[in-house]
Structure 1
Amino acid sequence: MRLRRRYGGAAPVTATPLVLTVPGWTGSGPGHWQSLWERAHPRRFRRVEQADWENPRLGDWIRTLDDAIAHASRPVVLVAHSLGCITVAHWAAVHARPVAGALLVAPADVERADTPAPIRPFAPVPLRPLPFRSLLVASTDDEFVTMERAEHFARCWGSELVPIGAAGHVHTAAGFGPWPRGERLLDEVCAGER
């Protein structure tokens, strides 16, 4: 199933965008695809570095993301994983700075009954349409979000859903290292494709 939303007149990003990586709870370790992309392309990628990865505070995470976007000297594309996707949705609900697009990977469903205590304050998940083009990547056996919930987020956010089969939480423990398919999806977001 693919959900599409095209933004009328949305043009490809003409300048080389700054890709801001937005990790989830506990950050992305050295073997995580976000970290590998940052090391491989240091001029293209910059991490949104949170002060406390273990005990996230929603307001702090939103402010840190907003500061990173505000201080970018060129168009911004967001690449978020897990709780980072929920942070992007919260940010977009209260801020209007321009963002060229986003790749949202394995959003954590913080409304589940078994949500770990440190990330429960990120609920409820904002369900307003995102004001920029986005792809939402979801797996059929993610322990942090069901495919049905991922589809719901995609519909509400106006994201195109990209199902990738049984891929767990699309992180290091699920066997994801460099993840070239993810880089191709990012290139599509930057080029305004889909």
Structure 2
Amino acid sequence: MTPYHYLIVPGWQGSGEQHWQSYWQHYLPNYQRVEVADWQQPQRQDWVPALDQAIRRCQGPVILIAHSLGCISTAHWAATASASQRQKVKGALLVAPADVERAGCPEALRPFAPIPTAALPFAAQVVGSSNDYAASEARARELAGLWGADVAILPGAGHINVASGHHRWSEGLVWLDQLEQRLDQQRSPWQRMAS
């Protein structure tokens, strides 16, 4: 089977050394990480092209692993990318998507509104939380439905970041594994025989 390339898509302020995305990138083979000009003052016109360039650099099928604002950046990319670029992405794990349209949203994140509502052109798994300040459980479910993604809501997991006690977050790898199994099942019998 052709190995997947894992592309880490951090959220606002990047994912520091203690963040689960940073741990995962040392665990996963064939990984890359999106880099942007400014993690503190995010600009959609910077973040979305940076994601596109990172995907372009990947050789082979890509799985995106996004957190928070990275999930919204992914949705914007999917809504604007070329067909050939979209075909490279086979799936996305979207963890704790940030509702940039919510009341009280930090001003720095508002350039990412409105959130794209079209179905994503690849398989996706949203993982939210029952008490995430950045997106309510209902909003996480709504976004997953709009994007055509599977959804899982973790009880009391906060924003699923360092502040909520999620460092290595090895439990999250279960969702990644399930996504990969779903992708493998979607391959045709001929593709499976050839791998």
Please report the TM-score for the alignment, with normalisation by the length of structure 1.
Answer: 0.89
Q: Distance in 1 between matches of 2:158 and 2:10?
A: 16
Match of 1:147 in 2: 137
> Would you say the 8 A contact 1:127–1:153 is kept in 2?
yes
Superposition RMSD in Å: 1.2
How far 1:175 sits from its partner (Å)?
0.4
Aligned sequence identity (%): 46
5+ long unaligned stretches in structure 2: 186-195
Deviation at 1:44, TM superposition (A): 2.5
Structure-2-length-normalised TM-score: 0.89
Listed as ranges, the matches of 1:6-85 within 5 Å are 14-41=1-28, 43-85=29-71
Letter in 1 for 2:34: V
- Give runs of aligned pairs for residues 31-180 of structure 1, distance below 5 A: 31-41=18-28, 43-95=29-81, 96=83, 97=85, 98=87, 99-180=89-170
Residue 184 of structure 1 corresponds to which residue in structure 2?
Answer: 174
Deviation string, structure 1 residues 57-79 (Cα, Å, up to 9, x no partner): 10110000001111211110000
Report the 3-state secondary structure (helix = DSSP H, G, I; strand = E; otherwise coil) of the residue aligned with 2:16.
Answer: coil
Distance in 2 (CA, whole Å) between partners of 1:107 and 1:142 is: 9
Return the letter of the residue paired with 2:64. L
Contact 1:85 1:104 in 2 (8 A): yes
- Higher RCO by CA contacts (8 Å cutoff, separation 6 or greater): 1
Higher helix share: 2
What CA distance in whole angstroms lies between the structure 2 residues aligned with 1:44 and 1:162? Answer: 26
Instruction: List per-residue Cα deviations over 1:28-72 (Å, max 9, x = no partner).
Output: 01000000011233x422111111100111011000000111121
Deviations 1:124-178 (A, max 9, x none): 0000000000000010000110011101101100000111111000001100011
Residue 37 of structure 1 contacts residue 45 of structure 1 at CA under 8 Å; is this kept in 2?
no
How many residue pairs were aligned? 180
Runs of 4+ in structure 1 off by over 4 angstroms are none
In the aligned structure 2, how far is the partner of 1:40 from the partner of 1:71?
20
SS in 2 for 1:27: coil
**3-state SS in 2 of match to 1:180:** coil
